Amino acid sequence: MGIKVLIIGGGGREHALAWKVAASPQVDRIYCAPGNAGITEFAECVSIDPSHTGALQDFAVRNKIDLTIVGPELPLTLGIVDAFEHAGLRIFGPAKNAALLEASKIFAKEIMRDCGIPTADFATFSDVERARNYVKQIHAPVVVKADGLASGKGVFPSLTADEALEAIERIMIKKEFGSSGAALVVEDFLRGEEASFICFTDGRTVSPMPSSQDHKRVFDGDRGPNTGGMGAYSPAPVVTPEIHERVMEKVMRPMVAALKARGITYKGALYAGLMIEQGEPRVLEFNVRFGDPETQPLMLRLNTDIIDILNAVIDERLSEICVDWDPRPSVCIVMAADGYPGKYEKGRPISGLKEAAAVPDTVIFHAGTSLRNGQVVTDGGRVLGVTSRGCTITDAIQNAYTAADKIHWEGVHYRHDIAHRAINR
C-alpha cells in the first residue's frame, strides 16, 4: 500500500513537485490544495486556500495523509508546520520561528550581520520620517525593501534619492503591501549577476541543489517591473565550482548553524538569493521554500526519489541520502497574461498544450490555469512554465521555445531571452 501525499499551493512550483512526487513508486495518492488545471493529471485538487491552516489540518487528518509538502511561503509563516506536527502529521517545511527568515527581511539581515554572512550594508526603519531623512543623507543608488511578505514585489532598486523616497511612500504611506510595509530596510545597491542557491537541510546536514538563475523583470533585456519570475534555468554558469563551495561555507552552513544557536532547527528547503560580483557572492535575501520558477527546471534534473529526500529531512537523517542530479541543463519559460504584473484578464482559452508537450524532453507546468467546461483557461498572471532539458543549454533553450511557440491564448506574453547569460558565458 502506497502513501498519501498532500501538496499545498497551486502554482508552477507545486505542479513540478506533484509531477516529481507522482514518479515515486512509494506514492499511492496525491491531493493538492488548491491545485490547478495541470495538476489534475496527477492529483485530486481540493478547494482549500493555502492560508487556511485549520481546514488543511482537518483534511489531512480525515484523509489519513502520510506526508504534506508546503509550496508557498504564506502558510509556512502562519505556522502550518507547527500545527501539523502538533497533530502528529508529517510535513515538509520549516517551523514558524524558522520561516521568519523570509517573513521579516529585518530578522534575516540582523542574523546575517551577527554571524558574518556576506550581504549589503543596511539600515532599518519603522518611522517614515527617519527613513526619508536617511535616504536624503546617503548617496543613491540604494534598494528599499518592505520588511514582510510581498510576493516578490516589495523590493525597489532606486537609482536616485527621489526613487527611494517614492518607494518609502508606496511602502509606508500608501501601504501597497499592507502590514508587510510597517517597517522597511534600506540597503546598499549590490552590482553583479544574480543567482539562486537552494538547499535541502534537516538542521544539521545541508545538501545543495544545482545552482539556478531566475529572470525577475517582465520584459526582454531585464526591463520593466519586477515579477514573481519570468523564467529560470539550471545550472547557472556564474556559480562556478569555487563559488559554489564559497556559498556553502560562507552562507548556507553558517545560516543553518546560526539558527540552531538560537534554538531553531531549520528543516526544509532553504533558498539564498545571491548577487555575485568578481567571484564574491553576497546575499540579497533568504526564502524558506522552493523557488518559483526555479523548482521547475530543478525537478527535471532530480534523479533521486523526492519522497526519500523529504522523509530524510523530516527525520533529521539527510546525511544518509545521496541526492543525484541529471547533469543535463534545463530551462523554464514562464508564459504570462498580458498586463502582468499589473492588471490582467482571466478565463482566456489556451490552445496548443498537447502539441507543446510532445516536444522532446519537455514538460508543461501549469501555474495560473483552471478548467472551464473541460477547456483549460487562464486563471492568473503567470500562466504556464514551459520547461525543457537538453544535452547543452542551447538545446534546452531551443526545446523550450519550440514548445512555447506552439501555445496560444489572447494576450499571451513571454520573454524571448531566458538563459541569455548562460549563452553569453
**For residue range 282-316, what is the model confidence (pLDDT) as tens digits?**
999 999 999 999 999 999 999 999 999 999 999 99
Q: Which residues are CB-neighbours of 104 under 8 A, at least 6 positions away?
A: 147, 148
pLDDT at 13: 98
Instruction: Answer whether 0.85 is exceeded by the pTM.
Output: yes
pLDDT at 335: 98
127-182 and 330-424 share one CATH topology? no
**What are φ and ψ of residue 51, in 5° steps?**
-85, -5
pLDDT at 316: 98
CATH superfamily of 330-424: Phosphoribosylglycinamide synthetase, C-terminal domain (3.90.600.10)
Distances (CA, A) of 169 to 131, 142, 156: 10, 15, 11
DSSP 266-308: --EEEEEEEEEETTEEEEEEEESS--TTTHHHHHHHB-S-HHH
Around Cβ 417, how many Cβ atoms within 10 Å? 15
What's the count of helices (H) and strands (E) in the chain, helices before strands? 15, 23
Cβ proximity of 307 and 21 under 8 Å? yes
Q: According to CATH, what is the number of the domain 3-93? A: 3.40.50.20
How far is the C-alpha of 120 from the C-alpha of 190, rounded, in Å?
A: 7
pLDDT above 80 (res 152): no
Q: Which residues are CB-neighbours of 242 under 8 A, at least 6 positions away?
A: 279
pLDDT at 312: 98
Distances (CA, A) of 304 to 2, 94, 100, 209: 18, 22, 30, 12
Q: How confident is the model at residue 178 (pLDDT cuts 50, 70, 90)?
A: very high
pLDDT at 151: 78
Q: What is the pLDDT of residues 192-250, one digit of tens each?
A: 999 999 999 999 999 999 999 999 999 999 999 888 899 999 999 999 999 999 999 99
Q: What is the pLDDT of residues 238-267, one digit of tens each?
A: 999 999 999 999 999 999 999 999 999 999
Domain 127-182, CATH number (from 3.30.70.2750, 3.90.650.10, 3.30.1490.20, 3.40.30.10): 3.30.1490.20
Cβ proximity of 81 and 70 under 8 Å? yes
pLDDT at 267: 98
Cβ proximity of 3 and 63 under 8 Å? no
Q: Within 28-169, where are the H helices?
A: 53-62, 73-77, 80-86, 96-103, 105-115, 128-137, 161-168
395's enclosing H/E stretch is: helix 393-404
Q: How confident is the model at residue 364 (pLDDT cuts 50, 70, 90)?
A: very high
Cell of 164: 527611494
pLDDT at 39: 98
Q: According to CATH, what is the number of the domain 193-320? A: 3.30.470.20
Q: How confident is the model at residue 352 (pLDDT cuts 50, 70, 90)?
A: very high
The domain ranges of the chain are 3-93, 127-182, 193-320, 330-424
Cβ proximity of 82 and 98 under 8 Å? no
pLDDT above 90 (res 269): yes
pLDDT at 226: 84
Q: What is the pLDDT of residues 101-130, one digit of tens each?
A: 999 999 999 999 999 999 999 999 999 999
3-state class (DSSP) for residue 385: strand
Q: What is the pLDDT of residues 51-99, one digit of tens each?
A: 999 999 999 999 999 999 999 999 999 999 999 999 999 999 999 999 9
pLDDT at 47: 97
Mean pLDDT of all residues belonging to the chain: 97
